A and B are shown apart, each in its own frame.
Chain A
Amino acid sequence: MVYNKKAKEFYSQELASLREQGLYKEERYIHSPQASSIEVEFPAGTEPKPVINMCANNYLGLSSHPQVLEAAHKGLEERGYGMSSVRFICGTQDIHRELENKLSQFLGTEDTILFSSCMDANAAVFEAILTNEDIIICDRLNHASIIDGVRLASAQQDSYKHMDMAHLEKKLEMHQDKRFRVIATDGVFSMDGDIAPLDKICQLAEKWDAMVMVDDSHSTGFIGKTGRGTHEHWGVMGRIDLITTTLGKALGGASGGCISGRKELIEMYRQRGRPYLFSNAVPPVIITAASRVIDVLSQTTERRDKLEENTKYFREKMTEAGFDIRPGVHPIVPIMLYDAKLAQGMAKDLFTEGVYVVGFFFPVVPKGQARIRVQLSAGHEKEQLDKAISAFIKVGKKYDILHKTKEEVIAKYGM
């Protein structure tokens, strides 16, 4: 036996330390399909409780939509369950290529390659095309999967202050001696709902000869007038060299991701993208469902329009009620509380009131910036939003944080 007493004790202590620091993550068991209203068993062993779900990435409410289920059933019946192969051996069906083409058309790019997840897409996006002659310049609040992708690459690395264009320009100027420069940013930052200024980033990229890579996972399907993403929002479609995105959020929410962009680069990923070469093809059931989602979103903006209305309504009512929310237009709405215990306590009380939200604190967000992150969906009805807002007000009154400044909240609860 190689799992000896020393190893067992070491890992037990690590886990105990996570618990002590309040960093231990516990799963909550959901007894219903993913939707705006779900049945949650929490704490484990108790009767499932109906709650309004305000923490899913189900932005367009398509996770359990009848049309999506129908397309998934069709895929299962006509194309089977699994591919039992990577893409380049015998894992590519015509529908895989068809979805890649649809995604290229939807995103306004030259070509697209599918991956098992956007995490996998980000693991390939730098590693397969850059060497140590090149540099990747990252926004400092980029998602963990971009950071891991950078770590996997042999390229040099640098970073710029969050959305600070003057700082980015300084870095671009500093690295003119490198062969290729790649600016890497989230399209929308998942903890803040901030939208990266891609118009300015593209201008700088053109001025200083750099490629632009955007992870648009929290945008594809609903940001921009027709939901194409952050590049549509800023009017820079066709000017982003590499977009990574997911099928696991707005586009049905199952799993799968892609890299979409310049033709030669996409071809390089088919030759050298390790997560593409060494993991299974996305199963047909996801392909046919995602394909239907793209068809629906290409025909109508009804769902993204409803999401936009829900977001506006919720942000307005919560601001009126006296919550400190980060301004913006994104359905990610951070309710700023600054203190970790306050965020956890309020999230727990909201669950008792029938609203499922999660408190986030260091190291997921910077120290002293604890918050509850609300995520809206086109699947939310106005009555659900009103019920959630009332619950927030009730809990906000209990903790006496309404209409209080940041300093007043910090003075009362710390940070």
Chain B
Amino acid sequence: MKRKPLLSQLFWAVVPVAAALFFIALILLAAGANPWQAFREITLGALESPQKWADVATAWVPLALVGAGMSLTFAAGLWNIGAEGQIILGAIFATWVVRSVDLPQVPVIALIILAGMVGGALWGLLTGLLRVYARVHEIFAGLGLNFIATALIIWLIFNPWKPARGATMSGTEPFPEVTWIPRLGSSRLVPLAMVLTVVALLVAFFLLRGTRFGLELRAIGKNARAAFIQGIPTARHMLVAFVLCGAMAGLAGALQATAVYHRLIPRISGGYGYAGMLVVILAAYRPEWVPAVALFFAAIGVGSPRLELNLQLDASLGGVLEGMVVLFVLLAAGLRNRLSHKP
């Protein structure tokens, strides 16, 4: 853990972001738009009103939760791409509690949160079992389970859980208000969601930094065979990492259903499972950097629809920007590696 000079750290953080912005600017110029104006629109779109700040915070929650969870599976060297399905299962379990339990607000919300975490954890465990015992690579296991989760949620919405007036892509009936996780005053801000996210980030951070489990997980990530020979229970630890990541993604799903949409919709995961993966890669797989990176992604997500409104550009340009930044950061990391070997 040698400390690099702060200036060089800063340099390597700023340069790739600047390069990504530069390339986006070129794309915008090619599309006949003013890049300066486009960046301004995104920034304004994310920050212009307290309403927007609340939207950014709402988008930050699932990104940061998935990022926290994936920092654990990445530490164990696992390419867990199954967060999307784990979010969906969390939302499904939460919805199931909403539909089958009749309790006062506090216990029902506690149950919903728990159920969401259990749902995601089970889906994560399934990936883990396939990986550890059936030797299916976690990328394929995760991808397969993501498809199954998507099919499952659509089947639920169009069959057993369809609204009385008929099934549509807009989802189930709205949940009864007692199951809504409370908002702050009239804003869309949900304090409980923020608190739970911070807790998840702290758990991931302290697990990896300060505990035997975290150290053993990192050993597995560096060389699973050597870790096994040194007596680390590699199979069990990998499963636990999948379960913890699944629980955090499942929590994100439960919150999407009961704090954001107040119903189960087919696109409940909103791509946060994949975006969260970009977040954790950009955060160098370290939970302490996840909150800031997730905030950046959330802001771009909330701000880019303005491109469509005011500049007649496609809002998906925000996604292009996010992808560009990740690619340039990885590129810069590779370059830095090369340079440090040739003084």
Q: Do A and B come from one complex?
A: no
